[in-house]
Structures are given as structure tokens and as C-alpha cells.
Amino acid sequence: MERNMTMIALFAALIAALGLIPSLTLAFGVPITAQSMGVMLAGAILGAKRGALAVLLFMALVALGLPLLAGGRGGLGTFVAPTSGFFLGWPVAAFVIGLIVERWQSGPLGVTVTLASVIGGILVMYGFGIVGMSIALKKTLAECAMLVTAFLPGDLLKAVLTGAITQALARSRPASILSRH
């Protein structure tokens, strides 16, 4: 109980910290927000339920008015912006990623996590994001889907990195991969 709770709280804090480190440049010199990678990691490491709870806890703190999103954003405005769909899709993304990693125990961890991150962190999250954009911008789903393809390369990279990081963590802290216990 205590361990589950501290793990959930620490992953919520990790998502926040990944948004606050300004100098973190992922690749090609383009500053990509590492925050959605934190969501992928939460699902991959904590598993479906705990991963989703960690993300929900983080979102609650953003709603309370803490500037925890990348670029110091936060507050209630986060829920009515054109990109809010993505934000609202975060807990579902973490849940789906966790579920896939939990269910596919036999697969090699790095590959499983990468695939799970593509399905949960891209397919599911983009689904939410596209619906949100189409409501805010009054455009059709297909038109909004075209707009978000710009983020695809960055997110694919994050999925691969999530796989690599989870595999490295499994080697150095095997007991901490709760999704595989």
C-alpha cells in the first residue's frame, strides 16, 4: 500500500520534473517536451491502474493551478485549450500502455514497451487529441488528423526512448518494474 502510493506520487512528480527541466533537448536540437514521455514511462513501469492514477494525480495538481506543464503552463485553462484533448487522453494512454505491458509478459520488455507506447501514447492519445481539436476549432476529424501528423516523428522517438529507458531500468532496478510482477 505505502509502496504503491509513493510510486504513484513519485511518477506524478517525475512527469512534472520532466516539464520543468528547461535544457533537456531530446534530439536534433529540437526541444521536445519530455512530459508525454513521463506519461509513457508511468504506464510502462507502474502498470495500467497505478500508471493512470499517477497521471490523474498530476492532472489534479495542474487543475489546482500549479504551473507544472512544459513552459510553466497550468491551471484551469489547460482543460479548454485546443490541445486539451491530448491532455485529457493522458491517463487513458498510461492505462493502455500499462495494460499491454502487463498482458504481454513473454515479449522482450524494450520491444513490448515501445509497441505499447505507440499504441497507447500515439494511437489512443491522438484519438483524444483529434476529437478535442475538432471541437475547439470546428474542423472535421480528418482535417484535425492531418494537423497532428506534424507531431508524429517526435512522439515515435519518445516511444522508442521509453522502451530503451524501461529496459535499462529493468536491468538496474528489476524490482521496480511493477507492470511485470
Partner 1 sequence: MISLTSPVETWAHRIPAGAKLLALSGLTLGLFLTNRPEVLAASLLAIAALYRSAGTIFLRQGAGHLRMLWPFLLLIAVWHGLTGQIQAGLAIAFRLLAALALANFVTMTTRLTDMIAVLTMLLAPLRRIGLSTRAVELAIAMVLRFTPMLVENGNRLAMSWRARSRRRPNWRIVMPMAALALDDADHVAEALRARGGILPDTDNTRD
Name the residues that contact partner 1, by CB under 8 A.
Answer: 1-3, 5-14, 16-18, 20-21, 23-27, 34, 37, 41, 45, 57-58, 60-61, 63-68, 71, 73-82, 135-139, 147, 161, 165, 168-169, 172-173, 176
**Residue 132: all three cell numbers together:** 478535442
Q: 30 or 123: whose CB is closer to partner 1?
A: 30
CB of 76 to partner 1, least distance (A): 4
Alpha helices in 28-151 (DSSP H): 35-46, 48-63, 84-103, 109-117, 125-137, 141-148
CB of 179 to partner 1, least distance (A): 13
Q: 78 or 112: whose CB is closer to partner 1?
A: 78
The Cβ-side half-sphere exposure at 23, using a 13 Å CA radius, reads: 0
d(CA 130, CA 5): 32
The Cβ-side half-sphere exposure at 20, using a 13 Å CA radius, reads: 10
Q: 14 or 106: whose CB is closer to partner 1?
A: 14
Q: 83 or 106: whose CB is closer to partner 1?
A: 83
